[in-house]
């Protein structure tokens, strides 16, 4: 029995190491938690001179909601790319990554549901205008608004030359400098008006959600009823 437990423990450790290794290999290609703009360097490349902004490329950022958002409300941000001509020739071969970067603006105040994308790599701009506006949802990102009311700046980012190789053997990761386009959109978050939210900053004040109120009142009522029955039963026994 002791040998079996030891064997299972060893197999578990090996499985954890193997899964971790696979995750690091596949996750590395989409590793970007910090973005510094034109001052950014490396990103897994060696010998690069840094990041340069596209000369004429622009982004169109579209939020699916026209009204101010409520705290923690889900919404989508679509990122369309126009005139990213630097991404067309060798060594990028039209390949780009579309993403929501961290550590810039108020991006860290936003979150996303588990399993939803915050980046999409190896997409392609067209070979005429360097634009990207797909018919699918590869450039649409589902996000969750911050929990506190206020005005926020949300950045979208498109990169060419980030941790990827072109289709030709001559295209080496170490030879690729980063060319990027970034832009932002203003997001307003407004706390719902009502009891307990009169301060308007998204912080609940002595408020209990409706379903919790029902549960609380029901629980108290049942407890009081049980106590009354117990007292009456004791009284009958004494009598």
Q: Would residue 137 count as lying in a domain?
A: yes
The whole-number pLDDT of residue 114 equals 86
Q: pLDDT tens digit string along 215-229?
A: 555 666 676 666 656
Judge contact between 131 and 125, C-beta under 8 A: yes
Q: Would residue 208 count as lying in a domain?
A: no
Q: Would residue 225 count as lying in a domain?
A: no
Given a cut of 70, is residue 158 above it in pLDDT? yes
CATH classification at residue 118: 2.60.40.10
d(CA 117, CA 100): 9
Judge contact between 44 and 163, C-beta under 8 A: yes
Q: Would residue 65 count as lying in a domain?
A: yes
Q: Would residue 4 count as lying in a domain?
A: no
Given a cut of 70, is residue 93 above it in pLDDT? yes
> In which domain, by residue range, is 153 found?
31-189
Sheet containing 140-144, strands listed edge to edge, beginning at the edge strand earlier in sequence = 58-63, 74-82, 140-144
Q: Would residue 11 count as lying in a domain?
A: no
pTM of the full structure: 0.64
The whole-number pLDDT of residue 225 equals 61
Q: DSSP characters for 109-163?
A: G-B--TT--SEEEEEE--TTT--B--SSSTTEEEEE--SS-EEEEEEEEEEESSS
Q: Count how many domains the chain has.
A: 1
Q: pLDDT tens digit string along 117-128?
A: 888 888 999 999
Q: pLDDT tens digit string along 5-36?
A: 555 555 555 455 545 444 443 444 444 556 76
């Amino acid at each position: 029995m002791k040998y079996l437990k030891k064997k299972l423990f060893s197999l578990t450790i090996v499985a954890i190491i193997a899964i971790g290794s696979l995750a690091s290999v596949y996750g590395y290609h989409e590793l970007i938690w910090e973005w510094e703009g034109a001052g950014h360097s490396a990103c897994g490349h060696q010998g690069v001179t840094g990041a340069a902004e596209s000369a004429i490329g622009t982004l169109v950022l579209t939020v699916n909601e026209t009204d101010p958002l409520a705290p923690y409300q889900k919404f989508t941000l679509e990122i369309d790319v126009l005139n990213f001509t630097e991404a067309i020739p060798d060594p990028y071969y039209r390949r780009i990554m579309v993403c929501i970067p961290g550590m810039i603006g108020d991006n860290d105040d936003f979150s996303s549901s588990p399993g939803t994308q915050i980046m999409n790599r190896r997409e392609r701009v067209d070979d005429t205008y360097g634009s990207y506006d797909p018919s699918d949802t590869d450039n649409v990102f589902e996000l969750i608004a911050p929990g506190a009311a206020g005005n926020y700046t949300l950045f979208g980012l498109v990169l060419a030359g980030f941790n990827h190789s072109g289709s030709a053997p001559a295209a080496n990761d170490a030879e690729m400098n980063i060319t990027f386009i970034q832009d932002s959109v203003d997001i307003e978050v407004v706390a719902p008006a009502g009891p307990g939210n009169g301060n308007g900053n998204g912080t609940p004040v002595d408020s209990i959600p409706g379903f919790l109120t029902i549960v609380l009142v029901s629980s108290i009522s049942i407890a009081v009823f049980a106590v009354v029955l117990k007292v009456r039963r004791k009284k009958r026994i004494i009598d």
